[in-house]
Chains A and B, each alone.
Chain A
Amino acid sequence: MDRKTGNKLVYGIKVICVWILAAVFLAPLLLVVLNSFKTKGEIMTSAIALPGSFYLDNFITIVSKSNFVSSFLCSLFIVAVTTSLTVLVSAMAGYSLAKWKSRIAGILMVVIMSTLFVPFQVYMVAMIVVVRDLGLTGSLLGLILVYIALGMPVPIFLCRSYAVGMSKEIEEAAIIDGCSKWTMFLRIILPLMKPILATVAVLNALWVWGEFLVAFLVYGNGKPMTLPLSQRYFYGTYSNQWNLILANFLISSIPVVLFYVVMQKYIVKGITAG
């Protein structure tokens, strides 16, 4: 009896703690929602008051001025292609790094992880020159290749740890069955890695969706623009039009949030399984 009430108390405290934290985390986002329905004047008077009326002009301005629809579709296309290729490339590399008993693999792992320590700003100009030398400036292909290259390290890392934990017996059984190594990889290993690949895909897609700097430098004024590129219109040097900026954040975040909610179970599953 005693223990039960104790448990209930603990549970109660837990619930309260977690909801307070959740409220703190959500507050800034709620402010974004709130203020994106206000006029510029209303925000200046008070940032925390409720909007006077259901003011939708901010959204209309954004959709009409920033080619929202075509940018949206362009971003969708880039995310789809980049993410599927990143997943494939990292699965291959991660598996190889996990199973290849060679010194090269060890060294490569260290080098790939070192990307985490080098800020992008450091090598971005030199990278643009490479992109140009390959004749890829302003092309979607160039952008996608760079996205794969820059987005790869953590996925490779995750795939590798996952593959290390996979039992050897399955592979051996497959080889004895007469499978070629390639068939084994495609038909047995890849499906086995599904949970981690789903995780990697979700994290990668979220990153690509919101990425601005690389797109700006590599893809530049290519058309159609990606969503973050088209949003740049609102962040001009001197335009602190909070009503528009916040409304812009709101509509561009909705698809990602929905995507995350749908895919959420994979994220935890993938990392757990690894």
Chain B
Amino acid sequence: MKKKIKSNLFYGLLLLPALVLFVLFFIIPVVQSTWLSFTDSYGMKSTYNFVAFDNYKEALRDLSFKKTINATTKYALLSVIFGNILSLVLALLLDSKLKFKNTLRAVFFIPNIMSLLVVGYIWSFVYTSVFPDIFTLTGIKNFTILGNKTLVVPALAVVGIWNAAGYYMVIYIAALQGISEDLMEAARIDGAGFYHLLRYIRLPLIAPTIFTCLILSVAAHMKVFELPYTMTSGGPVGMSTTMVYKIYTTAFNANRNGYAAAQSMILFIIIASITLVLNYIMKKREEKL
């Protein structure tokens, strides 16, 4: 019994520093913000009233907020699916025998080193200054990518993928390197080609990693803010206004802290549900094995 207490104390103390910081700088602020979502807190005013679920009701009626859910989902779907495919392809390419392997890995990882704000600035330069020059050079009629209602979200997704691909690539490479070489060799001797190795050995074995990357990238891309902020101001006609960008303008331009907090709670619920569903699928799959 005494030993048990001692061991609990040991593990508890190990956790303590992380826990203290976590409670101070995350739990307390988040709980406070959640409370704000039930109030009419406005701008810098120090007093506010409790309004129960009014903010939530308004959000569910607010067409322009619903529109941001669409834009965000579209952006996240594109970035998550194509981003993960690209990262996986890169990982497969760079996990095999190849000259300059390390240099290439660095090349793909470098975009991830820069903060998203910087990335946004660089790409708005690319989209607004470089592409027009290329179009003129090649004689294509000048048209604007960021001003096109259909193209703007994919254009932002390209940037998101460019930024994140290297990160997930590294995780996939790590998983691929974890597959035992003996197993692969045995399969090769049995006459398995590249496709068979991929379909029946590599992909199934790294499935847990794929799910992890899916969860991480869903959470990251659903929260996109810097790209519309630096590149489009949410336009044209609100097509690229993502949820966090909207939350930001609600809180800081319209000054409605309470409403913004309610919008954030809805975003949190959406991300959490997607994650739960992914988790559920993953668990189901593991049970089958």
Spell out A's residues near B (CB within 8 Å): 10-11, 14-15, 17-18, 21-22, 25-26, 28-29, 31-32, 35, 43, 46-49, 89-90, 92-93, 95-97, 99-100, 102, 105, 108, 111-112, 114-119, 121-127, 129-131, 134, 145-146, 148-150, 152, 156, 181-182, 185, 206, 210-212, 228, 235, 242, 245-246, 249, 253, 256-257, 260-261, 264-265, 267-268, 271-272, 274
CB pair A210 B113 closer than 8 Å: yes
Query: Given that A96-B11, A253-B113 are contacting pairs, would A89 and B17 also be in contact in the complex, using a CB cutoff of 8 Å?
Result: yes
Q: Across the A-B interface, give the 6 residue pairs with the lowest CB-CB distance, nearest first.
A: A126-B29, A271-B174, A93-B18, A149-B25, A100-B11, A96-B14
Provide the residues of chain B in CB contact with A15, threshold 8 Å. Answer: 98-99
Provide the residues of chain B in CB contact with A115, threshold 8 Å. Answer: 26
Chain A: CB-nearest residue to B93: A18
CB pair A145 B162 closer than 8 Å: no
Complex-state Cα separation, A196 to B161, whole angstroms: 25
CB pair A152 B21 closer than 8 Å: yes
Chain A: CB-nearest residue to B243: A119
Query: Given that A134-B24, A249-B114, A260-B106 are contacting pairs, would A117 and B130 also be in contact in the complex, using a CB cutoff of 8 Å?
Result: no
A–B Cβ pairs within 8 angstroms, 6 of them = A96-B12, A96-B15, A100-B15, A121-B251, A126-B33, A152-B21
CB pair B115 A210 closer than 8 Å: yes
Chain A: CB-nearest residue to B109: A260
- How many residue pairs bridge A and B at CB < 8 Å? 221
Given A25-B108, A25-B162, A119-B264, 15 further pairs, Cβ under 8 A: A46-B133, A47-B129, A93-B19, A126-B30, A127-B25, A131-B25, A145-B25, A149-B25, A210-B115, A245-B121, A256-B114, A265-B102, A267-B170, A268-B177, A272-B174
Provide the residues of chain B in CB contact with A116, threshold 8 Å. Answer: 216, 219-220
Query: Given that A31-B126, A182-B10, A245-B121 are contacting pairs, would A22 and B25 also be in contact in the complex, using a CB cutoff of 8 Å?
Result: no
Contact of B126 among A28, A46, A99, A125 (CB under 8 A): A28
Provide the residues of chain A in CB contact with B244, threshold 8 Å. Answer: 119, 121
Contact of A114 among B19, B175, B272 (CB under 8 A): B272
What's the dominant secondary structure at chain B's contact region?
helix
Query: Given that A18-B93, A119-B244 are contacting pairs, would A93 and B251 also be in contact in the complex, using a CB cutoff of 8 Å?
Result: no
Q: Which of B31-83 contact A (CB under 8 A)?
A: 32-33, 36
Complex-state Cα separation, A145 to B21, whole angstroms: 7
Provide the residues of chain A in CB contact with B251, threshold 8 Å. Answer: 121, 125
CB pair A264 B272 closer than 8 Å: no
Complex-state Cα separation, A97 to B15, whole angstroms: 8
Closest-CB distance, A64 to chain B (whole angstroms): 22
Query: Given that A47-B125, A156-B18, A268-B174 are contacting pairs, would A150 and B96 also be in contact in the complex, using a CB cutoff of 8 Å?
Result: no
